[in-house]
Chains A and B, each alone.
Chain A
Amino acid sequence: DTAVSQTPKYLVTQMGNDKSIKCEQNLGHDTMYWYKQDSKKFLKIMFSYNNKELIINETVPNRFSPKSPDKAHLNLHINSLELGDSAVYFCASSPPGLASYNEQFFGPGTRLTVL
């Protein structure tokens, strides 16, 4: 199936741990994103990559580090997890062209719970 996929779907971990979330898209898109959705459903962009190049880096703690090994993958690594990191993280991608004027395709989300 063509889609944006994320693993894992659920992630429960202790404070202070380091964890990674993986994202892959097989839509042939050039641009990929990470969003954080809090408990009130507010969606906020964290990072955006275009062809493996970082183009958006919002005010995100440097404990969060995205990595794009190729344009089909954008992984998110989080160091020293804190309680406030608990949220649902969404990966998305958009087709070639002016990325911000294109529909974004979202993955199913990863629910991160930090205990």
Chain B
Amino acid sequence: GESVGLHLPTLSVQEGDNSIINCAYSNSASDYFIWYKQESGKGPQFIIDIRSNMDKRQGQRVTVLLNKTVKHLSLQIAATQPGDSAVYFCAENAFGNEKLTFGTGTRLTIIP
């Protein structure tokens, strides 16, 4: 079946450094992608999304890159802060589907 997965289940980054979280997807028809952040004891929170007609989108301290050729998505967080420690999920959807498919998640830990 189709799936969305992550290369690294855990990632530790020194505070102030940049972090990159990767995500691979297998559905070539996927055309909408979202990154969510889930802090301990809370529900997932939207960070940024991107459609397949773009290859880069920037937000505040975050950048999402989409490489449709290799079906790869990444989330870059600049100048990481302790509050960035969380589990990050990518999710994808293809036109005509009614649901998002979530990846397995990466736990990001910011080391003070």
Contacts and interface: CB of A to CB of B under 8 A. Distances in A.
Interface of A: 4, 40-45, 48, 55-56, 58, 90, 92, 99-101, 103-109
A100 B97 contact: yes
B46 A100 contact: no
B98 A109 contact: no
**In which size bucket is the chain B interface?**
20 to 34
Interface stretch (B19-27, B56-64, B69-77, B99-107): B99-107
A108 B32 contact: no
A77 to B, nearest CB: 21
Nearest to B104: A42
Given A90-B43, A101-B93, 19 more contacts: A4-B43, A41-B104, A41-B105, A42-B104, A43-B44, A43-B105, A45-B100, A55-B98, A56-B98, A56-B99, A100-B32, A100-B93, A100-B98, A100-B99, A104-B44, A104-B46, A104-B100, A106-B44, A107-B43
A55 to B, nearest CB: 6
Contacts of B38: 41
A56 to B, nearest CB: 5
B14 interface: no
A76 to B, nearest CB: 15
B44 A90 contact: yes
Nearest to B105: A41
A101 B32 contact: yes
A46 B109 CA distance: 29
B110 to A, nearest CB: 18
B102 to A, nearest CB: 4
B99 A40 contact: no
A58 B99 CA distance: 10
Contact of A103 (B49, B87, B89): B49
Contacts of B97: 100
